[in-house]
Amino acid sequence: MSSNSNAETIINALQAGDSHVIEELYAHHREDFFRWASHRFEGTRQDFEDAWQDSIIAFYQQVNQGKLLQLRSEVRTWLYAVGYKRLLNNNRKMKRMLWKDQIDDALLAIELEKEDNDPEKVQALHTALQSMSAQCRELLIARYYQNQGIEEIQQGWNLKNANTTSATLARCLGRLKEFIKKTFSVFSNG
Amino acid sequence: MDEIAQKLIERYHQNALSSEENQEFQRRINSDSDFAKEVQWHGLALEAIRLQGEKELRRRLTVKGKELDAKVPNRSTAFPWQWGLLLIVLLAMGLWSIDPKSTTKEPISPAAPTEKSLPLPPANPKPLDPIPSRPQAQTKPASIDGKKIFAAYFEPYRDASLEPSVRGSAAEKLSPQEYFQQLYWEGKYAAALSAFDSLSTFAQQDNTNLFLKANCLLHARQGNAAATILEGMLQIGHSRFVEQVPWYLALSYLQTGQIEKAKKTLNEIVERKGLRLENAAQLYAALK
């Protein structure tokens, strides 16, 4: 997977909506990360799996939100550093073996936003999205999470043309916003 | 909200505003309260989409991880465990054969088979019949060998709706979807499995394609990976093949030696009087 060693190629592919690349990235470095992490932590394979998935998802979202446009290190180093950070945060009791390598240096350069984990808000947002039709949900995820283009979505869902696709997306997003407005107005009034 | 404002809001959330657009954005957010609220609603809508997208991506990664684990077993731990189990079985068989009580006082079965008899494989499948023909009556095997019983019962799913409308080779401008479907239809399951990886992300999430992939995995004896897909389909619940899924899930369990789970799934088919009722009842009886 020589192409995946190239950060720019990976970032460009993800920005173009090719989310398949993320699975390749996940598979390509997974075992190495497990081995590397097991030298630093006494954790289970599941602990390492969770951290690796968190890291891959963080990378995917950073790129898709336009927050990660280029890397100073290799993609692998970035992923390891984030996975390492997750292991530290999620498993404070996990025994850590102290050493230092380039991952620690990369860690200093990576700033991730703290996630808002207010369970009430998360539940309300989940309910709002579930109130949509399955097609609307899938379309919105394809467009706004997977960064897929209008043309690709049009083909994937057999929609009539680009205008119809854009209009459908706008209608779905509008409905979602309306539902959120109602829900959160109740919150703020209550 | 006008179209320009919507575009500004959208580009703001994509971190894609140019400096001019940013100036306009700042001007409007400070002077127009409706605009400021719309920015907030848009942000919340995107967060709802992100949360769901993340959930689905995590599920895809979990499936991929299980597939990877199924392909590359951990040899350092798998072999000692298997050898240990083999040793225990051999010891138990040795003890059983030298203990006269076990054959005279309490025979397990009055008609214990002298050789392992397994349910016969279904006859060659009819091209358009998804239900394999009934295996002949069987005697119980002394111990259940899930893999052999699996081989006797498993037949990749087929029905007329799966026949491709277009045929050709990959080079003849077949779409990845058409090529995958054609390979499956022609019974080239290993090639279909590879072709699945070339499908678009949409297509890889499509329930029909996932169901066919599970069948390809079963054909390749990757029962764990197949079970993961089928369990996911059962959870989602709305799929064209939802009635077929339990049968293939039971076979996945059987292929991986999870006899109790296979029996439970088969029993559910029988109790629900679902599709494959006859097959399920026979297989359940064979496993008891």
pLDDT for residue B126 is more than 50: no
pLDDT for residue B249 is more than 90: yes
Residue B8 lies in a domain: yes
Burial of B34 (0-12, 13-18, 19+ CB in 10 A): exposed
- Output the average pLDDT for chain A: 83
CB contact under 8 A, B68 and A142: no
Q: Which of A56, A140, A152 sits opposite B61 (nearest CB)?
A: A56
pLDDT for residue B54 is more than 50: yes
Number of domains chain B contains? 1
Residue B237 lies in a domain: no
Global ipTM: 0.86
* Domain enclosing residue B50, as ranges: 3-71
- Output the average pLDDT for chain B: 77
Distance CA B203, CA A157 (A): 10
Q: What is the pLDDT of residues B196-218, one digit of tens each?
A: 988 887 778 888 889 999 999 99
More confident residue, B70 or A54: A54
CB contact under 8 A, B238 and A134: yes
More confident residue, B89 or A3: B89
The crossing angle, in degrees rounded to 10, of helices A7-15 and A45-64 is: 70
More confident residue, B6 or B85: B6
pLDDT for residue A56 is more than 90: yes
Residues of A in contact with B45 (CB under 8 A): 128, 173, 176-177, 180
CB contact under 8 A, B61 and A23: yes
Interface test with A, best of B7, B46, B55, B57 (most A CBs within 10 A): B57
CB contact under 8 A, A26 and B62: no
Residue B40 lies in a domain: yes
Residue B20 lies in a domain: yes
Residue B77 lies in a domain: no
pLDDT for residue B118 is more than 50: no
Interface test with B, best of A112, A133, A138, A173 (most B CBs within 10 A): A173
Q: Confidence band (pLDDT; 50, 70, 90) for A92?
A: low
Per-residue burial over B140-171, b if 16 or more Cβ lie within 10 Å, else e, is bbbebebeebbebbbbbbbeeeeebeeeeebe
**Chain B: nearest CA to A66, how far in angstroms?**
6
Residue with tokens 């919340």: B44
Residue B59 lies in a domain: yes
Residue B282 lies in a domain: no
**A180 interfaces chain B, CB cutoff of 8 Å:** yes
The pLDDT score that the predictor gives to residue B167 is 67
pTM over 0.80: no
Residue B55 lies in a domain: yes
Q: Confidence band (pLDDT; 50, 70, 90) for B81?
A: low
Q: Confidence band (pLDDT; 50, 70, 90) for B41?
A: very high
